[in-house]
Amino acid sequence: AQSVSQHNHHVILSEAASLELGCNYSYGGTVNLFWYVQYPGQHLQLLLKYFSGDPLVKGIKGFEAEFIKSKFSFNLRKPSVQWSDTAEYFCALFTNAGKSTFGDGTTLTVKP
């Protein structure tokens, strides 16, 4: 069985603060890891993805994530958040069997 756990359900930050959202996964095989963002009233958009190679991946809008295999983690980071980053963030695991599992999501509120 596979699972994804996001530790922070709701994060509130002021503009310019640094962000780190936690994501841990459980799966015994090869994993593809993703972060998706869902802005209010909009559809899921791909932020970044990790398949293999360099464990530090960069995505859109200044986001990056680090894959740490020994910790089964794929945490999302941004050095300085903006009000426009207010959204729901989902970590997801896709396996070669075609199954996909999403974490429960983290609601990020950035105060101007």
Partner 1 sequence: DTEVTQTPKHLVMGMTNKKSLKCEQHMGHRAMYWYKQKAKKPPELMFVYSYEKLSINESVPSRFSPECPNSSLLNLHLHALQPEDSALYLCASSQVRGVTEDTQYFGPGTRLTVL
Binding site for partner 1 (CB under 8 A): 30, 32, 34, 36, 42-46, 49, 51-52, 90, 94, 96-105, 107
Cβ 6 to partner 1 shortest distance, Å = 9
Judged by CB, which is closer to partner 1: 33, or 81?
Answer: 33
Distance CA 72, CA 28 (A): 10
Q: Judged by CB, which is closer to partner 1: 14, or 30?
A: 30
- Taking the least distance from each CB to partner 1, the nearer of 98 and 112 is 98
Contact 79, 61 (CB under 8 A): no
| DSSP string computed for 39-104 | -TTS--EEEEEE-SS-SEEE-GGG-EEEEEGGGTEEEEEESS--GGG-EEEEEEEEETTS-EEE--
Closest distance of CB 104 from partner 1, Å: 6
How many Å apart are CA 70 and CA 60, to the nearest integer? 26
Question: What are the tokens at 64?
Answer: 């990056």
Nearest distance, CB of residue 19 and partner 1, angstroms: 20
Shorter beta-carbon distance to partner 1: residue 10 or 111: 10
For the CB of residue 101, give the shortest distance to partner 1 in the complex, in Å.
8
